[in-house]
Structure 1
Amino acid sequence: MTIRAVFFDVGEVLVDETTEYGTWADWLGVPRHTFSAVFGAVIARGLDYREAFQVFQPGFDLETARRTRAEAGQPETFDETDLYNDVRPCLGKLREQGLVVGVAGNQTARAEGILRALQLPIDVLGTSDSWNASKPSPAFFQRLIVEAGVRAEHILYVGDRLDNDIRPAVELGIKTAVIRRGPWGHILRDEVATAILGTDVEASCLFQLDSLLSLASLVAEHNEAARGAV
């Protein structure tokens, strides 16, 4: 099956979240390197990343804390400098192939506004806030299929997390690509990956990436081979 639409997660796929994690450490009043170490340990154990906050502040609620930060004049934020440098070239090359290019992730309305202001070369932008559905729920990916305008098997979803991105997409018949970067990148190389997916990464992902720079050519090669097999 050819790929006709490519959708991307946001955090650690398009946006380097190092700065934002650092600001959370500052908000909690802990050294950034300490927060980073705990965050990594929580992820390595296959736990919900929000449990890292609980270590420093029992009863911590992320949504409440986001509102409190905003009210204190310290809202979540990112800008062009936080985009990985392979993002714009990749998106542009995919659009040149005539594909539908979209961004869809678990993001707040504020983050969606920032993404729109960045004017990325995309056709669709959706977030959990605007879609009223969050990954890994099937409702999120069902909405993505509608927005893509093609059947699930013609969509490629690019994510960094096996639990939130890859597994739920595969379950709905969407092709997937996983990128090895950010806090979740190391999980791809150990037994945690199989525990999360029920199989190995290679069996679940069409592509495994270390950078987005290779994605456009991989998609083009896949589509050429798929057309030749018809």
Structure 2
Amino acid sequence: MGMWSDVKWLFFDVGDTLVDEWIPVDHIMNQFVERAADRGYSITIQDVREKFIESYSNFIDSPMQYAISQLIEKEEDRAYIRPRLKYRKELETPYPEAKKILAQLGEHYRIGIIANQSPGTAERLHQYGFSSYVDVIACSAEQGLAKPDVRLYEYALEKAGCAPSEAIMIGDRIDNDIVPAKLLGMKTIRILQGYGRYQPSKGADDLPDCTISGLDELIGLLL
């Protein structure tokens, strides 16, 4: 097991880690394109995707607000567009392999969730078929703390009765998943899914212990 020999707990992010957000993100991008057209702008979804990539590459919060600020010239047009965009959370779907991976890992590790999510995370995990594998849930809406605040991580570790050195954080984002976990002494695995894969590592402080391209790689890595 090597570097994982002391690990008892695996903590997962949700969005773009266990759950694919590409479809709802594309959906809200198309809403933006349509509302921009209402105001006379000829913008394509690829234009919006490029701004999302810029946002993640530069660690800018709220990629959609960044895209609006960059692609819409007039504030009156921005004010028209912003309230007309709605993220459709029901369009999120678990990655096809996620349930099987959790089941296999759950035979050897306890599993927790540390995520920035809207209310109802436990119910959604149940709908996805994940809940029987998850022992601890620490989410922003319920705890009133949002990543990268290390207090959300501390809450999860305390609830798990787990020392940081006994845990791995698995997530897609350097800023929200890797950096705070490393600050506490947790081990880290970065998964290159979603727009989080465009965040660049800047040095030892944010360099994960391992980087993988998909969930299925966890089996060979951890078992």
TM bracket (short chain): 0.7 to 0.9
Distance 2:151 2:58 in 1: 27
The residue correspondences of 1:99-118 to structure 2 (distance < 5 A) are 99-118=109-128
User: Among the aligned pairs, what percent are the same residue?
Assistant: 24
Tell me the CA shift for residue 144 of structure 1: 1.5
Correspondent of 1:174 among 186, 194, 211: 186
- Match of residue 35 from structure 1: 48
Correspondent of 2:97 among 86, 103, 113: 86
Consecutive unaligned residues in structure 1, runs of 5 or more: 221-230
Residue correspondences, number: 201
What SS does the corresponding residue of 2:10 show, helix, strand or coil? strand
Tell me the CA shift for residue 209 of structure 1: 0.8
Tell me the CA shift for residue 169 of structure 1: 0.7
Distance 1:65 1:217 in 2: 45
Distance 1:131 1:96 in 2: 28
- Match of residue 18 from structure 2: 14
What SS does the corresponding residue of 1:134 show, helix, strand or coil? coil
**CA offsets per residue over residues 36-90 of structure 1, 9 Å max, x none?**
12111222233224323443565979xx959x84xxxx743235xx222231121
Q: Is the 8 A contact 1:16 1:182 kept in 2?
A: yes
Specify the code of the residue in structure 2 equivalent to 1:199.
Answer: A
Give TM-score scaled by structure 2 length: 0.78
The residue correspondences of 1:20-99 to structure 2 (distance < 5 A) are 20-28=24-32, 29-30=35-36, 31-50=44-63, 51-55=66-70, 69=86, 75-79=88-92, 82-97=93-108, 99=109
Distance 1:83 1:56 in 2: 31
Judging changes above 3 Å, is the alpha-carbon distance between structure 1 residues 75 and 214 closer, same or farther for their aligned structure 2 residues?
Answer: closer
Judging changes above 3 Å, is the alpha-carbon distance between structure 1 residues 124 and 65 closer, same or farther for their aligned structure 2 residues?
Answer: farther
Q: Is the 8 A contact 2:138 2:155 kept in 1?
A: no
Q: Is the 8 A contact 2:11 2:112 kept in 1?
A: yes
Specify the code of the residue in structure 2 equivalent to 1:13.
Answer: T
Specify the code of the residue in structure 2 equivalent to 1:20.
Answer: P
What SS does the corresponding residue of 1:104 show, helix, strand or coil? strand
**CA offsets per residue over residues 140-188 of structure 1, 9 Å max, x none?**
111111232211110101011111110111001111100112112143x
Judging changes above 3 Å, is the alpha-carbon distance between structure 1 residues 108 and 171 closer, same or farther for their aligned structure 2 residues?
Answer: same
Give TM-score scaled by structure 1 length: 0.76
Q: Does residue 216 in structure 1 map to residue 212 in structure 2?
A: no
The residue correspondences of 1:177-216 to structure 2 (distance < 5 A) are 177-187=189-199, 192-194=200-202, 198-199=203-204, 204-216=207-219
Distance 2:150 2:29 in 1: 32
What SS does the corresponding residue of 1:2 show, helix, strand or coil? coil
Specify the code of the residue in structure 1 equivalent to 2:67.
Answer: A
Consecutive unaligned residues in structure 2, runs of 5 or more: 37-43
**CA offsets per residue over residues 1-52 of structure 1, 9 Å max, x none?**
5110001111111111111112222333254322212111222233224323
- Match of residue 126 from structure 1: 138
Tell me the CA shift for residue 111 of structure 1: 4.9
